[in-house]
Structure 1
Amino acid sequence: MSSKLKLLFLCTGNSCRSQMAEGWTRHLKGDVIDVYSAGIETHGLNPNAVKVMAEAGVDISSHRSQHIDEFKEIAIDVVVTVCGHAHETCPYFPANCKVVHVGFDDPPKMAKELAEQGASQEQQLDCYRTVRDQIKAFVETLPSSVME
């Protein structure tokens, strides 16, 4: 009997992208992947990430922002960094843990820039929706895309 792949999504604050990735993976690939998400820091759960995931039928409202140190005792098979900062500052993992970088734009940063230009709340949420859909497309390729 083979066990599920243990996969951790890592980003800077574990508030948005890694949370969406964990939600999608649990929703779409929970039968073959044990999924976790963490940050190099903890910034709390982004309410807009929760909102756009709910629109897609995935509830991440019970997630919490977690620090990478909380996963020291779990034998992670694959770490997927979803932002440049996490990739550049990725902590050391054992040799049998594969680290893969799949970068996604930062919705809070994009929304803030749009807000400064006078964009509506709906236009700002579109940043989150775009990244949500990009993450879903990546998750649909799992686990084969990270095992190559």
Structure 2
Amino acid sequence: MKKKILFICTHNKARSQMAEGYLRARYGDRYEPFSGGTEPGPLDPMAVEVMKEIGIDISGQKSKNLSEFNGVEMDVAVAVCDSARAACPFFPWANENIHAEFPDPTGTKGTPEERVAAFREVRDRITSWIDGYFGDAGKMK
């Protein structure tokens, strides 16, 4: 049976969406990923773009309010930003709650190249963390 993993972020439009998509694409045989936000907003097109660069299509994913998961048992809930941790320090229906902080690329100012570079950096940090935690040598293997 696949372990259920919930990624929590404030707006559920970039970091948690990238994490959900990557976990599904890379480790979907072992995990069933979800994501939700405390104040969900629309999926950021730049998150979709940088995930496509690594062969993962998240364009069909939708932002969801964390309340949609009330009462749904999860094996692990991962808060991926400080504001989500403050708003929801733990997910009461998870067997394990962890925090993995990643900067919010959606607030990056600058040229389009600087913005996409910020999204790529966050994507790479998220994918490395997921590989380390959920991958073959990780804690959750």
TM-score by length of structure 1 reads 0.86
Matched residue, 1:38: 36
Show CA shifts across 1:76-135 (max 9, x none).
Answer: 1110000000011116533752110000011011x22xx2xxxx2112100000000111
Q: Secondary structure at the match of 2:8?
A: strand
Higher Cα Rg, which structure: 1
Contact in 1 for aligned 2:13/2:40 (Cα 8 Å)? yes
Paired residue total: 139
Contact in 1 for aligned 2:11/2:39 (Cα 8 Å)? yes
> Following superposition, which runs of at least 4 residues in structure 1 exceed 6 angstroms of deviation?
none
User: What RMSD over aligned residues (CA atoms) do the two structures have, in Å?
Assistant: 1.9
TM-score by length of structure 2 reads 0.90
Distance of 1:95 and 1:8 partners within structure 2: 10
Name the aligned partner's letter for residue 127 of structure 1.
Answer: A
- 1:55-134 equivalences under 5 Å are 55-90=53-88, 93-94=91-92, 97-109=95-107, 111-112=108-109, 115=110, 120-134=111-125
Show CA shifts across 1:38-72 (max 9, x none).
Answer: 00011110011001111111000000000011112
Distance of 1:131 and 1:96 partners within structure 2: 25
Contact in 2 for aligned 1:12/1:41 (Cα 8 Å)? yes
- Identity across matched positions, percent: 41
Contact in 2 for aligned 1:38/1:68 (Cα 8 Å)? yes
Unaligned 5+ residue runs, structure 2?
Answer: none
- 1:6-45 equivalences under 5 Å are 6-45=4-43
Distance of 1:11 and 1:32 partners within structure 2: 23
Distance of 1:67 and 1:53 partners within structure 2: 22
Distance of 2:133 and 2:80 partners within structure 1: 14
CA distance 1:145–1:127, shift in 2 (3 Å): same
